[in-house]
Amino acid sequence: MMFNKILVKLAGYLILFLFSISTAYSKNEKPNVLFILTDDQSFDALGSANNPHIKTPNLDKLAAQGLTLSHVYNQGSWSPAVCAPSRAMINTGRNLFETGMQNKDVPMDARPDYPLWGETFRNAGYETFMTGKWHVSRDALLRSFDVGQAVHEGGMTYDHYNAVMLDINEGGNGVSKTYSSKKHTSELIADAAVNYLQKKQDSQDKPFLMYVAFLAPHDERQSPSHFVEMYPGESIPLPTSFKQQHHLDQGDFWIRDEKLLSIPRKEDEMKTFIGEYYAMVSHLDEQVGRILATLESSSFADNTIIIFTSDHGLAVGRHGLLGKQNQYDHSIRAPFIIAGKNIDKGKTIKGNIYLNSIFPTTAELAGIKVPSTVQAKSFVPLLEGKQDSMNDTIYGAYRHFQRMVRTDDFKYIYYPLIKETQLFNLKNDPEELTNIATDAKYAEQLNRMKQKLTTLMKQYKDPVDLNNPMSSYSDAGFNTDAWSLQYTEYH
């Protein structure tokens, strides 16, 4: 009799165990993913990044609810439109020169069709949603997303109140005719995201991946007047690294980004410019707050991973520069917050990751097999508290004009066309103001950094021969045109 009772208990435990497994791995228990991407937002354009001059209450609240990675990098660009390579890396999980999207001599339909982030989640049973700036290819868009509203494919510089948008047809079969945003892009994109979350409440058969890509704070610098009034030019302090002009032509110096203001820079113009930038970020923050509030009030709140970041940073007056076509921290780093179940709250760690790590990390968290074509590392070890940094050295490149290697303590930048060298002691000089490359005391450190760069260039299959930068870059199929002369608009 006792033996029978034990068997009954064991059978009951087994049933409960099997039920718990089936529940834990049911589609509805898979984590949802909300990915929020901004355009041209510097890592320190957040109140939570200890910037007292900007108001971002909603993103500050998200930072308090999640984990901030202070050092997150875009690997660089093969185009003056730095946002396009960044998005190619995010969506393929591959490195800068290996996304298959950059060779000017290979037509789009003949380029490698690596598995994409949205496509991978879609094939794993997720419903995938897109709104905002895409800037990859039409084919990649339709492979990646089931649902798309207010999608901006990329192109020429835009008016935020009259941007060209389209929708993905039901079932992912083609796209609609284009139409005008007719309202500020940040508001239209937030509308689309909020509407999707509200409708999804009635159809919870699949977990979701939401790709919400704002066009702000990319110029044109437009936002509602009450946000502009929050930042009068006379109240804006100039950055410590403000200069009237960059001391050398680092390549593409006379590009459209840099011609948004007069050169040399005027202090009053620069203050107004920064104020308009902050106004766009604050307006953007308000729209992000609408999305987060909708998520928080939904049944998805406890089972959604939220990632907020940008495609790269922006100079906005630092080093005499306005744009992102440089290797200073203000331009190669991006803000980064991740929040969700079992993720530390209100904590900041270094991270030292590239943006292309988002794809493998979210796949691992969702229990989805990471495609073998993905080159980036998952940063789940950071979320598990096993380490606080993924890379000892960080690589960066801009076309054939610039190469960079960075450690926690030093940064080395080399300009192969003009044979200029910069070395910064980041511990003593975080603003990168004092070039110590010719200081004999740092000669050994300079040689070490040069060796590190050589190693990373090989690791990342960089096509540039530093002794013959232009010809080697062109021979590899990359564009060496002088954009400042031949092109006046892009983004």
- Hey, what CATH class is 395-486 in? alpha beta
22: pLDDT strictly greater than 90: no
Angle at 108 between CA 102 and CA 114, to 5 degrees: 70
DSSP assignment of 235-275 equals GPPPPTTB-SS-SS--SSTTSGGGGGS-SS--HHHHHHHHH
Torsion angles phi and psi, residue 422, rounded to 5: -130, 140
CA distance 224 to 280: 9
- Cβ–Cβ < 8 Å for 92, 99: yes
Torsion angles phi and psi, residue 173, rounded to 5: -95, 80
| Residue 125 DSSP code | T
What is the residue-averaged pLDDT of the chain?
91
> Buried b / exposed e across 172-199, counting CB within 10 Å, b at 16+?
beebeeeeebeebbbbbbbbbbbebbee
CA distances from 319 to 170, 244, 278, 316, 431 (A): 48, 8, 19, 9, 9
CA distances from 260 to 254, 318, 398 (A): 10, 14, 20
pLDDT band, residue 173 (cuts 50/70/90): confident
Q: Where are the alpha helices (DSSP H) in 246-354?
A: 267-296, 329-332
Model confidence pLDDT, tens digit, residues 330-373: 999 999 999 999 999 999 999 999 999 999 999 999 999 999 99
In the predicted model, what is the mean pLDDT of residues 69-86? Answer: 96
CATH number attached to the domain at 30-392: 3.40.720.10
Nearest to 326 by CA among 413, 214, 390: 413
pLDDT > 70: percent of the chain? 90
Model confidence pLDDT, tens digit, residues 396-448: 999 999 999 999 999 999 999 999 999 999 999 999 999 999 999 999 999 99
The pLDDT value recorded for residue 383 is 97
CA distances from 175 to 43, 125, 187, 331 (A): 34, 22, 21, 34
Give domain limits for the chain.
30-392, 395-486
Residue 212 pairs in a beta bridge with 36, 131
The pLDDT value recorded for residue 24 is 34
The pLDDT value recorded for residue 110 is 53
> Cα Rg for the chain, rounded, in angstroms?
23
Model confidence pLDDT, tens digit, residues 148-172: 999 999 865 579 999 999 999 987 7
The pLDDT value recorded for residue 242 is 98
In the predicted model, what is the mean pLDDT of residues 59-83? Answer: 97
CA distance 5 to 212: 56
The pLDDT value recorded for residue 26 is 38
